[in-house]
Structure 1
Amino acid sequence: MKKVTGLLLALSIQGLCLHTAIAQEQKAALVPLPSLDDFTMGKDGWSFGLGLGVEYESAYEGSDEFGFEPQPAGAVQWRSGDDIFFFAGEALGWRGLRSDTWLLEAIVGFEEGREESDSDDGRLDGLGDTDEGVELALQARRAFDADWRYWLDGRIVTGENGNLGIFGVGRRFGERTDGSGSEFSIVAVFHDSELANTEFGVDAAQAAASGLPETNLSGGFRSIGAHYNYRNYINDNWQIFGEVLYERYSGDITDSPVARSDYEAEVGIGFIYIF
């Protein structure tokens, strides 16, 4: 299974980098979670990381086609105490630590949408392209204690194509507070009817053009997901990172003719240079 392969790959890399990570001087991140970029080295002011990753992922939501795709990595960040403002790719955001156990985050980003050409096998022919648009993500994480060993997570993503809610629980592995190590989380995902039909619905015009049956979905429970993140320092400037993502769809989605698979999966790995 690709999920297991990606996890074993990340664990193997972790073992290879363990010696250099232990030897490195400890630097406190805003929150010691590998899923969050923090290039500030615990210092106020500007920081910058630039890198590249490669992902093996589903071609679109519900696709049974997979492929490799390069992805830029890194961000420009400005830190002031327990607040970090950042620009990463097509997203502008802020995250702040409150009372050592609350992490709040707000991000304005760009949703690319879906194109018929995303399917090399012609599975999306006749469905047209979904609209691109701006979306806002609000997140709150609550740790059980100040070392962020365990936490609860809640996120709301709202945009021009609909709304998404994510609620989960996670655990961090490793003892360092510089953002290196690994973490694992399990999440439940909910969406409204607008987003459900944008991604998995088929209206009358699409049905006529594609030959697929007309399908109208209601909002509610979307999926259950598992997410593994890994990050480590090779030396003072280089980071290696990786992730494995698996999302299992609910029955309503799997009944849609757009969903050719009942799951979505992604494996990624990359490197970042910190200036």
Structure 2
Amino acid sequence: MKTITGILLVMLMHSALVDSAKAQDRKAALVPLPSVDDFTRGENGWALGLGLSVEYEAAYEGSDEYDFEVDLAGAVQWRRGDNIFYWAGETLGWRGLRSEIWLLDAAVGFDEGREESDSDDGHLDGLGDGDEGVEFVLQARRAFDADWRYWLDGRVVAGENGTLGLLAVGRRFGDQTDGTGHEIAIAVVFHDSDYANTDFGINAEQSAASGLDETNLGGGFRSIGLNYNYRQYIAEKWQIFGEVVYEHYSSDIQDSPITRSDYEAEVGIGFIYVF
């Protein structure tokens, strides 16, 4: 009887270890970065993560007015090997892993533009609503090694309102392979004159209507920023995630009459259910 019981215990322990290993394999992310959501658990086919986030953020670029905003979070994803196609909010894209150290991403999204009513204090009165437009995003991240402990990031955003570029370096904390843990990055941002004037420029018509000085900005250095990401499973299918963003503007942007603060900050937290 003791022998049979021992055999059964060994079989149960072995089964539990196998199940645990399979669960870990299912949770293997395309890259183990908290800033890159992956709901596929390492499996090919469809995946869905859906939840809500609460963000405390500026009312518009350069604003000193802050408020809470509740948004949907998550994405619909389809994975085939080292490629994931995704639909997240107003963005449709693809990302793929190459040679274990390159993450490439291409997406098309929609920029809603700024509205005059975004300022409750009337700081945008007379400027009118900004133009809506389609944006194309190309991104490449390169890890220094296969575990993605340190990485470099380059990104270009181009659309009807101009072009923005970003260069960043980041570090991942923790040993998880499922995309959870902590991550921090420092970024330098550049833009062309069209992009700069979309957010911070004032043409002659806007100047006459608002009483603000006419402002025409050139392209170049926009800001330096810090980004922190956190993601963790709190149950088998529930994730909690958070983000802190700080962006310090260049002197040219600070001189714009639209800019009422030298920096912009954002704090967000949310929950996602992975189906």
Structure 1 residue runs without a partner (length 5+) = 1-21
Change (3 A) 1:23 1:230: farther
Q: Aligned to 1:197, what secondary structure does the other structure show?
A: helix
Q: Would you say 1:226 and 2:226 are equivalent positions?
A: yes
Q: Please give the residue correspondences for 1:1-275 in structure 2 after superposition, counting only pairs within 5 Å.
A: 25-26=23-24, 27-275=27-275
Cα separation, 2, equivalents of 1:24 and 1:239: 19
Cα separation, 2, equivalents of 1:243 and 1:199: 23
Q: Aligned to 1:120, what secondary structure does the other structure show?
A: coil
How far does the alpha carbon of each residue in 1:197-217 deviate from its partner, in whole angstroms, 9 at most, with x for none? 111011100000000001110
Structure 2 letter corresponding to 1:194: D
Q: Aligned to 2:86, what secondary structure does the other structure show?
A: strand
How far does residue 71 in structure 1 lie from its aligned partner after superposition? 1.0
Cα separation, 1, equivalents of 2:185 and 2:22: 27
How far does the alpha carbon of each residue in 1:9-34 deviate from its partner, in whole angstroms, 9 at most, with x for none? xxxxxxxxxxxxx9994321000000
Residue in 2 aligned with 1:5? Answer: none
- TM-score normalised by L of structure 2: 0.91
Cα separation, 2, equivalents of 1:36 and 1:112: 23
How far does the alpha carbon of each residue in 1:31-63 deviate from its partner, in whole angstroms, 9 at most, with x for none? 000001100000000000110000000000000
Structure whose alpha-carbon radius of gyration is higher:
2
Residue in 1 aligned with 2:17? Answer: none
Structure 1 letter corresponding to 2:173: F
Residue in 2 aligned with 1:6? Answer: none
Change (3 A) 1:80 1:60: same
Cα separation, 2, equivalents of 1:64 and 1:199: 14
Structure 2 letter corresponding to 1:190: F
Q: Aligned to 1:206, what secondary structure does the other structure show?
A: helix
Greater RCO, CA 8 A, separation 6+: 1
Cα separation, 2, equivalents of 1:168 and 1:241: 21
Q: Aligned to 2:121, what secondary structure does the other structure show?
A: coil
Residue in 2 aligned with 1:16? Answer: none
Cα separation, 1, equivalents of 2:110 and 2:216: 26
Q: Aligned to 1:195, what secondary structure does the other structure show?
A: helix
Cα separation, 2, equivalents of 1:205 and 1:134: 25
Cα separation, 2, equivalents of 1:83 and 1:273: 22
Q: Aligned to 2:184, what secondary structure does the other structure show?
A: strand
Could you tell me whether the CA contact under 8 Å between 1:24 and 1:235 is conserved in 2? no
Cα separation, 1, equivalents of 2:91 and 2:173: 28
Cα separation, 2, equivalents of 1:84 and 1:24: 21
Q: Aligned to 1:208, what secondary structure does the other structure show?
A: helix
Structure 1 letter corresponding to 2:98: R
- TM-score normalised by L of structure 1: 0.91
Could you tell me whether the CA contact under 8 Å between 1:62 and 1:261 is conserved in 2? yes
Structure 1 letter corresponding to 2:253: I
Q: Aligned to 1:62, what secondary structure does the other structure show?
A: coil
How far does residue 133 in structure 1 lie from its aligned partner after superposition? 0.8
Q: Aligned to 1:125, what secondary structure does the other structure show?
A: coil
Cα separation, 1, equivalents of 2:251 and 2:23: 49
- Alignment RMSD (CA, Å): 1.3
Count matched residues. Answer: 254
